[in-house]
């Protein structure tokens, strides 16, 4: 027991980590307008070519960037998101019927993912009452106000980007790149984090850890663009 | 057009009160931050995960990991804090944002707002707008009075899919400031280069015109 934890090292290769994604899997991708999206992991997913994916991401990125790469490669069968406005290629794929797009209010998307990761059966939100978002959903009145019952959203694999990890997988995020990353790490069976650097276990002060390493399965060091703040 | 947009942003900024937490939507609403009066300090919330947003960075000093919800590089001020999207929207839905300012395609007599989709033409997605309209304590709609073809945006009833039901509190346009109340839409102010008659003519919704209507420019 003593000191055993410090021998854990979750660093792995890009191809092995992304190779865990099966065709048809539900893949959650961190990022907001590609800030916080692990581009190396997405590139590798494009290279490996797993098809018929269900992708969950706040937005569709931009053409050829972030999730936009998976739109272009044709690997996405269905997409759960809050916004596709900055990627006309996703708009076209939706219009052509190549991708089935489910639009979810951003706060509801975040909370559905959080609910899955927190073991909840769903939650009640006033967001979307009286709009198309309400269609097919149970409406409950609590203290005179109407709420929609929204259900948890789980995934098989999470593609996370963080700034720093220790070898156990404890993560620190940087600036507005945090967004959905800690949430998807809670809600998926296998969690891959692309990080700018890996430090020895113990080097991140426990009070400064933003996502506990027990929720992270694999670490991959970023290549190319790295923002070290 | 640029002049109309700054006029709207300038008038919106007069609504801010010292100490308020404010979320500004993309476009004209974001411009309102440039016109906050000197004696008013507001804290800007950005729904992608922080409070304490500052102005645009000097060219060459942009941080690629620091954008606002409109995908523009920004800075943060002393006292800023970053958080994840679940906390960000808990702040929004939980009533911790005092004011949100949003653009819209249509707004109506009941305060209904349509802003995210034109079926068959434009599918952008609602992003955070539904949560913001529902959760913020006060919703200000910043729009040009008419669309590019001259059609009124302030309708009796919205014809497009709704972003939120009965949530608009104030409508600021290049021609008028209109308050939504239980009695209906009240015309509070008209622009100095417009008139009550013109505003009424360019508004499909019924406007209640009080004896005193203010002016703004």
B50, B71, B130 member nearest A128 (Cβ): B130
Supply the pLDDT for residue A112. 98
Write the DSSP string, A49-100: T--SEEEE-SB--BTTBTTHHHHHHT-EEEEEESB-TT-HHHHHHHHTTSSE
Q: Is residue A226 over pLDDT 70?
A: no
Q: Under a CB-based contact definition with an 8 Å cutoff, are residues B212 and B189 in contact?
A: no
Q: CA-CA distance, B212 to B130, in Å (whole number)?
A: 34
Question: A131 lies in a domain?
Answer: no
B106 is catalytic: no
Q: How far apart are the CA of B46 and the nearest CA of chain A, in angstroms?
A: 9
Question: Bridge partners of B152?
Answer: B146
Residues of chain B contacting A, Cβ within 8 Å: 46-50, 63-67, 69, 71, 76, 82-86, 88-89, 92-93, 123-131, 134-135, 161-165
Question: A212 lies in a domain?
Answer: yes
Q: What is the assigned CATH class of domain B2-216?
A: alpha beta
Helix (H, G, I), strand (E, B) or coil at A48: helix
Q: How far apart are the CA of A181 and the nearest CA of chain B, in angstroms?
A: 8
Supply the pLDDT for residue A2. 57
Identify the band that residue A38 occupies on the pLDDT scale cut at 50, 70 and 90.
very high
CB contact under 8 A, A176 and B48: yes
Domain range enclosing A109: 10-121+150-221
Supply the pLDDT for residue B154. 98
Q: Is residue A229 over pLDDT 60?
A: no
Supply the pLDDT for residue A92. 95
Q: How far apart are the CA of A228 and the nearest CA of chain B, in angstroms?
A: 10
Question: A140 lies in a domain?
Answer: no
pLDDT in tens, A127-153: 999 999 999 999 999 999 999 999 999
Q: How many domains does chain A have?
A: 1
Candidates A66, A81, A82, A94: best to mutate against B (most CBs of B within 10 A) is A82
Q: How far apart are the CA of A222 and the nearest CA of chain B, in angstroms?
A: 15
Question: A79 lies in a domain?
Answer: yes
Q: CA-CA distance, A87 to A64, in Å (whole number)?
A: 9
Supply the pLDDT for residue A6. 74
Three-state secondary structure along B15-73?
Answer: CCCCCCEEEECCCHHHHHHHHCCCCCCCEEEECCCEEEEECCCCCCCCCCCCECCCCCE
CB contact under 8 A, A105 and B128: yes
Side-chain half-sphere of A113: how many Cα atoms within 13 Å?
38
Identify the band that residue A43 occupies on the pLDDT scale cut at 50, 70 and 90.
very high
Parallel/antiparallel/unpaired status of strands A188-199 and A218-221: parallel
Q: What average pLDDT score do residues A199-220 get?
A: 98
Supply the pLDDT for residue A165. 98
pLDDT in tens, A72-91: 999 999 999 999 999 999 99
Neighboring chain A residues of B69 at a CB cutoff of 8 Å: 32
Q: Is residue A3 over pLDDT 80?
A: no
Q: What average pLDDT score do residues A153-176 get?
A: 98
pLDDT tens, per residue, chain B with 217 residues: 688 899 999 999 999 999 999 999 988 899 999 999 999 999 999 999 999 999 999 999 999 999 999 999 999 999 999 999 999 999 999 999 999 999 999 999 999 999 998 888 878 899 999 999 999 999 999 999 999 999 999 999 999 999 999 999 999 999 999 999 999 999 999 999 999 999 999 999 999 999 999 999 8
Question: A128 lies in a domain?
Answer: no
Question: A126 lies in a domain?
Answer: no
Supply the pLDDT for residue B65. 97
Supply the pLDDT for residue B56. 93
Tell me the percentage of chain A whose pLDDT exceeds 70.
Answer: 96
Q: Under a CB-based contact definition with an 8 Å cutoff, are residues B67 and B74 in contact?
A: yes
* Count of CB atoms situated within 10 Å of the CB of A48: 14
Pick the catalytic residue from B3, B15, B47, B179: B47
Question: A134 lies in a domain?
Answer: no
Q: CA-CA distance, B43 to B35, in Å (whole number)?
A: 14
Q: Under a CB-based contact definition with an 8 Å cutoff, are residues A136 and A7 in contact?
A: no
Neighboring chain A residues of B124 at a CB cutoff of 8 Å: 83-85
Q: CA-CA distance, B67 to B182, in Å (whole number)?
A: 38
Q: What is the CATH number of the domain that holds A105?
A: 3.40.1080.10
Which helix (H) or strand (E) segment holds residue A44: the answer is: helix A39-48
């Amino acid at each position: 027991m003593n000191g055993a934890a410090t021998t854990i090292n979750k660093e792995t290769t890009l191809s092995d980590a992304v190779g865990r994604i099966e065709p048809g899997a539900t893949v959650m991708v961190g990022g907001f307008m590609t800030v916080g999206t692990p581009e190396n992991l997405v590139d590798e997913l494009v290279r490996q070519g797993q098809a018929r994916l269900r992708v969950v991401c706040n937005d569709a990125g931009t053409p050829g960037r972030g999730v936009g790469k998976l739109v272009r490669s044709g690997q996405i069968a269905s997409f759960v998101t809050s916004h596709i406005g900055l990627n006309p290629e996703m708009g076209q794929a939706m219009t052509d019927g190549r991708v089935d797009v489910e639009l979810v209010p951003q706060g509801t998307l975040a909370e559905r993912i959080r609910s899955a990761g927190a073991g909840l059966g769903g939650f009640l939100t006033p967001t979307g009452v009286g709009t198309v978002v309400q269609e097919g959903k149970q409406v409950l009145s609590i203290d005179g106000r109407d709420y929609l019952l929204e259900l948890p959203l789980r995934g098989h694999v999470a593609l996370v980007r963080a700034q720093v990890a220790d070898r156990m997988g404890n993560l620190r995020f940087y600036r507005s790149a945090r967004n959905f990353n800690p949430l998807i790490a809670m809600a998926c069976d296998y969690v891959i984090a692309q990080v700018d650097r890996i430090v020895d276990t113990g080097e991140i002060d426990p009070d400064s850890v933003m996502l506990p390493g027990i929720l992270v399965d694999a670490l991959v060091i970023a290549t190319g663009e790295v923002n070290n703040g | 057009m640029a002049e109309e947009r700054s006029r709207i942003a300038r008038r919106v900024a007069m609504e801010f009160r010292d100490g308020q937490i404010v979320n500004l939507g993309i476009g004209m609403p974001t411009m309102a931050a440039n016109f906050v009066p000197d004696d008013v300090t507001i804290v800007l919330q950005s729904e992608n995960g922080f409070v304490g947003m500052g102005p645009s960075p000097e060219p060459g000093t942009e941080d690629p990991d620091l954008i606002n919800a409109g995908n523009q590089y920004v800075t943060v001020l002393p006292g800023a804090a970053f958080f994840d999207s679940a906390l960000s929207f808990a702040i929004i839905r939980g009533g911790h944002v005092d004011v949100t300012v949003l653009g819209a395609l249509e707004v109506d007599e009941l305060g209904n707002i349509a802003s995210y989709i034109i079926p068959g033409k434009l599918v952008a997605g609602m992003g955070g707008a539904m949560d913001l309209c529902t959760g913020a304590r006060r919703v200000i709609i910043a729009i040009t009075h008419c669309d590019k073809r001259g059609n009124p945006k302030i309708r009796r009833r919205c014809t497009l899919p709704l972003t939120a039901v009965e949530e608009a509190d104030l409508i600021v346009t290049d021609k008028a400031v209109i308050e939504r109340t239980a009695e209906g839409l009240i015309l509070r102010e008209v622009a100095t280069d417009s008139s009550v008659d013109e505003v009424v003519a360019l508004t499909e919704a019924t406007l209640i015109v009080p004896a005193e209507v203010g002016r703004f420019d």
